Amino acid sequence: MSEPALAVTDLSVRYGAAATALTGIDLMVPRGEIVTLLGPNGAGKSTLMRAVSGLLHVHGGVITSGRVELLGSDVTSDRPAARVRRGLAQALEGRQVFPDLTVAENLAAGGHVRRYRKAQAREALERALSHLPRLHDLMDRKAGYLSGGEQQMLAIGRALMSQPTVLLLDEPSLGLAPKIVETVRDIILDIRDEGTSILLVEQNAAMALSIAQHGYVLESGRIVRSGAAADLRDDDEIAALYLGVSASEGAGSHA
């Protein structure tokens, strides 16, 4: 159990011929911990998530140097499906559920990669729903008709269906009412307590730092600060930049 759940080493990314999006990123998620990645819009948070999940090419991005390791294995050039099979799952920014599939079908699609038998699928579903009881009554509803909070829960539940070791959560509180943010926060903790390692990207720094053990601050494609969550929370500069404005209404960043 010595190697971390997720390790990013000296990672640089660029989009097409445009300027470099990430430069020399080092980041680590120890097993069973929540690590948060903070930063303003356009800092490169989503890019880093895509580099980890393998979806960079969809947006025309290329890794120019560095490594991504999952549970000690180099996955830098693996396809997304291979990474999911190795235990990585993610809930995409903006929730991005399958709008014209039902909640049940959304969840089942999350388990597709595992080729479950019937009993295994039921077990995975029960485990996922144990964290997200609200979904129980919505199973036959089309995902496109859910509320924002429900869609966020579905996105998390769908990611859990592959029974991941590492979970990437991209802006789970984005656009949600404070009360719902509380619920989501509890769900994240609940999942962590089951042993899942979590990389949490958030603009809501207060929420993120309240549950994370460790944090990184990304600006203009570089890590400018990192440290224990408690230290970051107490840092004046961080407080001024992120905690004060707590930009929970910001639009998603794309590069």
Residue carrying the six token digits 């948060």:
36
First and final C-alpha spacing in the chain: 34
Site for other proteins contains 14 (CB under 8 A): no
Nearer to other proteins, 33 or 150 (CB): 150
Pairing of strands 6-15, 20-29: antiparallel
Nearer to other proteins, 183 or 210 (CB): 183
Pairing of strands 197-201, 34-38: parallel
* Of the residues 13, 25, 29, 92, which one makes contact with other proteins according to CB under 8 A: 92
* Of the residues 23, 90, 163, 165, which one makes contact with other proteins according to CB under 8 A: 90
Query: Cβ 213 to other proteins, closest distance in Å?
Result: 25
* Of the residues 99, 133, 178, 244, which one makes contact with other proteins according to CB under 8 A: 99
Radius of gyration of the chain from Cα atoms? 17
> Quick check: 43 and 224 in contact, CB under 8 A?
no
Distance of CA 196 to the CA centre of its chain: 12
Query: How many beta carbons lie within 10 A of that of residue 71, not counting itself?
Result: 17
x/- track of binding to other proteins for residues 126-165 (CB under 8 A): ----------------x-xxxxx--x------xx--x---
Query: Cβ 90 to other proteins, closest distance in Å?
Result: 6
Nearer to other proteins, 130 or 147 (CB): 147
Site for other proteins contains 253 (CB under 8 A): no
Which of 200, 216, 220 has the alpha carbon at shortest distance from 208? 200
Torsion angle of C-alpha atoms 114, 116, 120, 124, degrees rounded to 10: 40
Sites of contact with other proteins (CB under 8 A):
53, 55, 58, 60, 79-81, 83-85, 89-90, 92, 94-101, 105-106, 108-110, 112-113, 115, 142, 144-148, 151, 158-159, 162
